[in-house]
Chain A
Amino acid sequence: MSAPNPRRAFFAAAGAGVAGLGFTAIAPGLHLMAVGEANAAARPAGTAASPAIRWGLLIDATKCAPGCTKCIDACHEENGVSEQLPDPRQNSQWIRKIELVDRRNGRVTTLPMMCQHCAKPPCVDVCPTGASMKRADGIVLVDRHTCIGCRYCMMACPYKARSFVHTNLTEQSPETPRGKGCVESCTLCVHRVDKGQQPACVEKCPEGAMTFGDLNDPVSAISKRIAAANTTQVLSDLKLDLGVRYQGI
């Protein structure tokens, strides 16, 4: 991302003003942004997610290598998704690779599929307790404290993006709460995004097939690529306004 957004400008000014008083201690987010290849500033603790931002992903299916599972490995390692149940259909899969074969000409495409972070998410509409929620910056999450495990969101998701935790879990990642009896899905690595980092899958994709950024920022890399190339929202006729876009399908 090249041009600063207003919040970043504020932090830059604040950082400059207090530079002599301990730069990293006062503005750790700015520091992270300066050294990393992050898309935006970190979200300071105690501040709400900004509705001015719409986090999104662009996935270039033409670059996605068949047989490669680096994004899946990265996601499951980052989020501690490791259980292997006797019936694999009961395992959680936050991200999966789908192989598409065009019925007309046999063309094969592979792509990663995960929560599409809809602007109008059906899972949020149907959740009885409000545990399924959309953060102000467009990330769709499950509040593990209020999820009752009814699985109605799994019935409602058109992308089959959600998993139900079928068993007791151990070795959870401290930053990704997971638990038996709750529903879960891709969080867009919200804990990393809030620190100014990219989602694990994006970072680990060896082909550079995934671009993460702010869809609302016209000069972000993702916005520029979406403006320049033909991209697709899966099942676009549902008009859910997806945060995840695909190229090459």
Chain B
Amino acid sequence: MATLNPRHEEGLFYVLAALGGLVAAVGLGAALYMEHTGHVVTGMNNQIVWGLPHVFAIFLIVAASGVLNVASIGSVFGKKAYKSRAPLSALLCIAMLSGGLAVIMLDLGRADRLMVAATHFNPTSVFGWNVILYPGMYAIVAVYLWTLMERRMNPYSKAAGLATFIWRILLTTGTGSIFAFLVARQAYGNAVLPAMFIIMSFAWGLAVFMIVQKTMFGWNDMTLHPAIRGRMKNLLGTFVAAVFYFVATYHLTNIYFAKQTAFEEFILLSGGIFPTLFWLGYVLVGTVIPLLILYVPDLNRIRGSVFAASGLVIVGAFCLLYVFIIGGQAFPLEIFPGYDVKSSFMDGAIDSYSPTLPEALLAFGGLGIAFTITTIGVRALRFLPQDDLAELEAAGSIVD
């Protein structure tokens, strides 16, 4: 990327920040409209109760936790190449958490009752735990950022990093448990889900990080050292493969249980949009192609290929979440096993879901919030990863 002259560069920054702000503002407007009219203007109904906003919100929240993995590898596991990336990883965490939480809160039927959620706590509810885990995440990451960016606080960064690491594992366990603790629906109620969400967070968070890092380096006319790029791409590949392992385990276990085979047949074969998104979107575009790019040397030597692979991992993530969340609700609850059932309330019937404009705008508004916070953050503060190559070489971190 050619160096921009400072005036053009500043102009571009304002354009990007304004675009992000506009998407966020339109999302907020859509939420206000939904609040005013009720969810009648959405495609959600009494069968598919969580829709596109939840797909986006859960992606953002899961990726927010995972992007901190970059910081943890530096602070908890002592890998020097990752240490200089910790501040950016913490900023991205806060940005995505803000976007995700905003969407999930604004989609509530009574978004005006946020204070009720904050003051009434049910200890048996995973959502209840999340009311503590999510704001706690903000606080703990803010302290961690402070220890990273304020020189006098640097000695505490390792302890803060460890606390952040533990907290985010708990947080993503909580997100996976939202579904793992559901006994009612065929798609959920599975103990593998919290672990699967944790590994998904690693892959998706790292993919987001790689994209932002590449963009920032390009903006500043810098090039990532090939050895560091190589390490990060291999780590992304490992995470992507691990997610696939968990997804395969989840489906294979279900296929083995007779009571679950009808659901699996629906999700993997006959369910229209869902098998298409699963096989083409998640397996091919989001897993196989990125793995080929990341592990075939002739492919990943191409400039921009790792960036592209990261983007495809994110596309696959959205496809997987759409299949998991929407597809899991579209399949009817089996209330009377052994019977064909029908009613005026979609019993025994496969539901269809078409997101409407307001809920889509709200969903994208979450991305807008995350994007705007990131853009302004990296502009205003020193988040650009600065690699001290001599130090890394001495530590043996950049041996090809």
List residues of A whose CB falls within 8 A of some B CB: 85-93, 96-104, 113, 122, 124-131, 145-152, 154-160, 162-168, 180-183, 234-235, 238, 249
Given contacts A151-B49, A165-B109, whether A128 and B335 have CB atoms under 8 Å apart is no
Nearest-Cβ distance from residue B46 to partner chain A, whole angstroms? 5
B108, B120, B336, B344: the one contacting A130 at CB < 8 Å is: B120
Contact indicator A156/B183 (Cβ below 8 Å): yes
Interchain CB contact under 8 A, B109 and A89 = no
Contact in complex: B122, A129 (CB < 8 Å): yes
The answer to whether A149 and B108 touch across the interface, beta carbons within 8 angstroms, is yes
Q: Which of A127, A151, A160, A235 contacts B347 (CB 8 A)?
A: A160
Residues 119 to 146 of chain B near chain A (Cβ within 8 Å): 120-122, 124-128, 130-131
Interface-central residue, B121, B131, B345, by most chain A CB under 10 Å: B345
With an 8 A cutoff between CB atoms, is B182 at the interface?
Answer: yes
CB of A102 within 8 A of CB of B339, answer yes
A132 to B339, CA, bound (A): 30
Contact of A125 among B109, B125, B333 (CB under 8 A): B125
Q: How far is the CA of A101 from the CA of B126 in the complex (A)?
A: 37
**9 closest cross-chain pairs (CB), A and B:** A149-B109, A181-B109, A128-B127, A89-B45, A129-B120, A158-B184, A151-B49, A100-B339, A167-B38
A98 near B125: Cβ-Cβ < 8 Å: no
Q: Does B340 contact A (CB under 8 A)?
A: yes
B55 vs chain A, min Cβ distance (A) = 14
Q: Identify B345's interface contact among A124, A158, A160, A183, CB under 8 A.
A: A160
For A83, the closest partner residue in chain B by CB is B40
CB distance from B264 to the nearest CB of A (A): 19
Decide if B49 touches A234 in the complex (CB within 8 Å).
Answer: no
A102 and B46 alpha carbons, distance in the complex (Å): 26
With a cutoff of 8 Å between Cβ atoms, the chain B residues found around residue A97 in the complex are 343-344
Whether B110 and A96, one on each chain, are in contact in the complex, defined by CB atoms closer than 8 angstroms, is: no
Asked if A181 and B38 make an inter-chain contact with CB atoms under 8 angstroms apart, the answer reads: yes
In the complex the two chains form, what is the Cα distance from A249 to B336 in whole Å?
A: 10
User: How far is the CB of B394 from the nearest CB of chain A, in Å?
Assistant: 51
Using Cβ atoms and an 8 Å threshold, which residues of chain B touch A90?
A: 39-40, 45-46
Task: Name B340's contact: one of A103, A151, A234 (CB within 8 Å).
Answer: A103
Chain B 26-54 interface residues, beta-carbon cutoff 8 Å to A: 35, 37-40, 45-47, 49-50
**B interface, CB within 8 angstroms of A:** 35, 37-40, 45-47, 49-50, 108-111, 113-114, 116-117, 120-122, 124-128, 130-131, 178, 181-185, 188, 329, 333, 335-336, 338-347, 351
- C-alpha gap A100/B35 in the complex (Å): 38
Contact, CB under 8 Å: B50 / A128: no
Contacts beyond the supplied A129-B116, A183-B109: 9 A-B pairs with Cβ under 8 Å: A90-B45, A96-B345, A97-B343, A125-B181, A127-B125, A128-B130, A149-B109, A160-B345, A180-B38
Which residues of chain B are near A89, meaning CB under 8 Å? 45-47, 346, 351
Bound-state Cα–Cα, A182 to B185, Å: 21
Closest residue on chain B to residue A130 by CB atoms: B122
B122 touches A127 (CB 8 A): yes
A residues less than 8 Å from B47 (CB atoms): 89, 160
Distance between B172 CB and nearest chain A CB, rounded to angstroms: 18
Cross-chain contact A98 with B182 (CB below 8 angstroms)? no
| A157 in contact with B122 (CB, 8 Å) | no
Find chain B residues with CB under 8 A from A163 CB.
46
Please measure, in the bound complex, the distance between the C-alpha atom of A150 and the C-alpha atom of B346, giving whole angstroms. Answer: 21
Q: Is the CB of B340 within 8 A of A128?
A: no
Closest to A99 in B: B342
Specify the chain A residue showing the minimal Cβ separation from B181. Answer: A126
Minimum CB distance partner of A69 in chain B: B344
B341 & A98 in contact (Cβ 8 Å cutoff) = yes
Separation of A76 and B49 alpha carbons in the complex (Å): 22
Residue pair A125, B338 in contact (C-beta under 8 Å): no
Q: Which residues of B contact A85 (CB under 8 A)?
A: 40
Interface centre among B109, B127, B128 (most CB of A within 10 A): B109
A128/B336 in contact, CB under 8 A: no
A152 contacts across to B, CB distance below 8 A: 125, 127, 178
Option from B35, B39, B341, B347 in Cβ contact (under 8 Å) with A166: B39
Q: Write 29 A-B pairs (CB below 8 A) sorted by A numbering.
A: A91-B46, A93-B46, A96-B343, A98-B341, A98-B347, A99-B341, A99-B343, A100-B341, A101-B341, A102-B339, A126-B126, A127-B122, A128-B125, A128-B131, A129-B116, A129-B128, A130-B121, A145-B116, A146-B116, A147-B109, A147-B110, A149-B109, A150-B109, A151-B49, A158-B183, A159-B335, A160-B335, A164-B39, A168-B38
A235-B111 Cα distance, complex, nearest whole Å? 34
Q: Which residues of A contact B128 (CB under 8 A)?
A: 127-129
Q: Is the CB of A164 within 8 A of B49?
A: yes
Q: Are the C-beta atoms of A126 and B336 separated by less than 8 Å? A: no
Give the residue among A104, A122, A155, A235 with the most B Cβ atoms within 10 A.
A155
Residues of B within 8 A of A88 (CB): 344
Most chain B beta-carbon neighbours within 10 Å: one of A124, A127, A150, A162 = A150
Q: Which residues of A contact B109 (CB under 8 A)?
A: 147-151, 164-165, 180-183
Bound Cα distance A114, B346 (Å): 14
Q: Does the CB pair B343–A148 fall under 8 Å?
A: no
Q: Are B183 and A150 in contact (CB under 8 A)?
A: no
